Amino acid sequence: MIRILPGFPAHVLAAACQGRVTRADYETVLIPAIEKALAAQPKVSIYYEIGAGFEGIEPGAVLDDLKVGMGHLSRWDRMAVVCDVAWIRDAVLAFGFLMPGRVRVLQLGQAAEARKWVSET
């Protein structure tokens, strides 16, 4: 499940996931929120928190994530991925150089630091 988090500046799209993330989550929650943010802002930063109850992600959701990310390459500013899931942290660190803008991976205990950093302009 993905939910959009309130309380961030207009240029930051913040989302949190837990449980099993499905393609439907991307299609009905995350992609519409990204499109709305990109329509309103020239550059968008992403705060993505993966909660302790994370159970995995459907392959179709991964494909949707790649499509959205690559479709707007020049529009991303900062991305903060906040999680304690080792394989996700490792994947973001390994492939973060492919993302335009700046990418940071922080642990759940560093969420406040991640929120502050991603909110800077």
Domains contained in the chain, number = 1
- Which CB contacts under 8 angstroms, 24+ apart, belong to 3-10? 3/29, 4/29, 4/30, 4/33, 5/47, 5/49, 8/47, 8/115, 8/118, 8/119, 9/119, 9/121, 10/40, 10/41
| Other C-beta atoms lying within 10 Å of the C-beta of residue 121 | 9
Which tokens go with 93? 């660190």
User: Would you state the pLDDT for residue 72?
Assistant: 59
Model's pTM, two decimal places?
0.90
Mean pLDDT by 10 residues, the chain (121 residues): 96 95 90 92 94 85 65 79 92 81 93 97 76
User: Would you state the pLDDT for residue 97?
Assistant: 78
CATH of the domain at 92: 3.40.50.10600
Q: Which domain holds residue 83?
A: 2-119
User: Would you state the pLDDT for residue 32?
Assistant: 92
